[in-house]
Structure 1
Amino acid sequence: MEKIEIHEGEIGISFFSLHVDGKEVGRMAVQITPGILKAGYTSVGLMQRKNGYGRKLVNAVVDYARENSLKIIPECGFVAMMFNKFPETYGDIRAIR
């Protein structure tokens, strides 16, 4: 069973973690400021890659941003790649610099 949790930090840096059968398989660090969510990094365990977990984390963060009227700055290379590869899916949520 897959579950995504949001862990809020004290200084505006939080992370989303993805668990499968109770074990953390990936996480994404984010920084939230008024109107903006910066996606800092995405990490998926080496043995867990190729399972789509990175994309699931991106989608969870995008859903959170949409629900909270935030735009995303993709500082993480993986998130930037997903935004560039699928502009029809993520174009509305990307912050324009």
Structure 2
Amino acid sequence: METIKLELDEKRHGAFTLYIDGKKLGEMSLSITDDLLTVYHTGVEPEAEGKGYAKKLLDEMVSYVRANHLKVLPLCPYVHAQFKRHPEEYNDIWKK
């Protein structure tokens, strides 16, 4: 079973972390300040690549951002590429 959890420290730095059957197999590292969520890196373990998990992490982050009225600064190459490829999906949350 897969689970994605937002795990933050006291400075609001952390990650959306992907667990499959209790094993950590991916994460999207980020920080949150005021009304901005900055994404630094998205990574999935080699054995979990090609199964759409990076997109699931992205979808979870986007849902969180919209629910909390934040903007996204996509420093992560994967997230930035998705925002550029599908601007109609992300323009409302994209901090350019």
TM-score by length of 2: 0.94
CA distance in 2, matches of 1:25, 1:59: 16
CA distance in 1, matches of 2:84, 2:21: 31
Q: How many pairs are equivalent?
A: 96
Q: Which runs of 4+ in 1 moved over 2 A?
A: none
For residues 44-89 of structure 1, give each alpha carbon's deviation from its aligned partner in whole angstroms, at most 9, with x where no partner exists: 0012111000011011111111010000000000100111111121
TM-score by length of 1: 0.93
Which structure 2 segments of 5+ residues have no match? Answer: none
One-letter identity of the residue aligned with 2:64: Y
- The equivalences for 1:2-81 within 5 A come to 2-81=2-81
Among all aligned residue pairs of Structure 1 and Structure 2, give the percentage whose two residues are the same amino acid.
36
Using the TM superposition, name which of 33-42 and 80-89 deviates more: 80-89
Which structure 1 segments of 5+ residues have no match? Answer: none
Aligned-residue CA RMSD (Å): 1.0
| Secondary structure of 2:9 counterpart | coil
